[in-house]
């Protein structure tokens, strides 16, 4: 029985690779239609059931998009599968919770630091005003209103990287917040001083962006991530998790 199952798995994976290879060889773009199911079966020399299973796998990975009643198309090729795996990893183990969070903080800061010049040159005056408005929301709600404060912080960073036009950076920025909602209950110690410093760092980011001051922008980015790094380290220590 295991041999049969192994053979089916191998065949399904071969069909998956065959469809991916077809997309590449035909230089198809997101939104382009794929051949019909019978045509794929003929082209790949595979059964209808194998093609259907392969399409399901590729749909889950956002490589293809199934439009019921219309056909199968090349997907958006987004990082949604990576985002889902990061979020799920955070659910599996407390150790992973903190490690995923720490890793994402590093990645987000790396992006924002590495793209500082492009961010500053791409943001428009209207976007500066919107960022200012989000900081005002954080100031008005305060960390005591966790949902409002976090939602404004989330929107702030989404808007900050939006002008880059880089879907991967945008999705990883949002992945941070998906994992944050899982880990946040375990991160105690967000003090009034941390709240004040966090709001000030966000305001400094906006002010530096308006002024086109890269040095001040980088300094403010570092100040922004400092409180969350400290809370992650303290939470790991409380749980007996060594770095």
Over residues 169-220, the pLDDT tens digits come to 887 787 777 777 666 666 766 678 888 888 999 999 999 999 999 999 999 9
Q: Tell me the CATH class for 2-74.
A: mainly alpha
Overall fold of domain 80-238: 1.20.120
According to CATH, where is 1.10.10.10 located in the chain? 2-74
pTM for this one?
0.66
Over residues 94-142, the pLDDT tens digits come to 566 677 778 878 888 888 899 999 999 999 999 999 999 999 999 998 7
Contacts made by residues 158-164, CB under 8 angstroms, sequence distance 24+: 159/127, 159/130, 159/131, 159/134, 160/112, 160/119, 160/123, 160/131, 160/205, 161/111, 161/112, 161/115, 161/119, 162/127, 163/118, 163/119, 163/122, 163/123, 163/124, 163/127, 164/115, 164/118, 164/119, 164/122
């Amino acid at each position: 029985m295991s041999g049969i199952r192994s053979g089916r798995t191998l065949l399904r994976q071969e069909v998956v690779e065959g469809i991916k290879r077809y997309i590449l060889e035909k230089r198809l773009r997101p939104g382009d239609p794929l051949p019909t199911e019978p045509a794929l079966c003929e082209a790949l020399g595979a059964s209808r059931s194998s093609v259907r299973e392969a399409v399901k796998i590729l749909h889950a990975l956002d490589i293809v998009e199934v439009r019921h009643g219309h056909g199968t198309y090349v997907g958006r090729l987004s990082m949604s599968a990576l985002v889902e795996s990061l979020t799920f990893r955070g659910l599996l183990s407390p150790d992973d919770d903190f490690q995923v969070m720490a890793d994402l903080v590093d990645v987000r800061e790396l992006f924002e630091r590495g793209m500082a010049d492009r961010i500053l040159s791409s943001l428009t005056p209207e976007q500066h005003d919107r960022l200012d408005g989000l900081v005002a929301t954080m100031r008005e709600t305060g960390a005591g209103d966790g949902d409002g404060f976090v939602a404004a912080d989330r929107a702030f960073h989404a808007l900050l990287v939006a002008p880059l036009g880089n879907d991967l950076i945008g999705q990883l920025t949002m992945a941070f917040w998906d994992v944050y909602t899982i880990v946040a209950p375990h991160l105690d110690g967000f003090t009034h001083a941390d709240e004040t410093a966090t709001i000030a760092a966000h305001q400094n980011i906006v002010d530096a962006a308006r002024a086109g001051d890269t040095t001040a922008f980088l300094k403010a980015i570092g100040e922004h991530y400092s409180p969350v790094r400290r809370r992650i380290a303290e939470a790991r220590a409380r749980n007996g998790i060594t770095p």
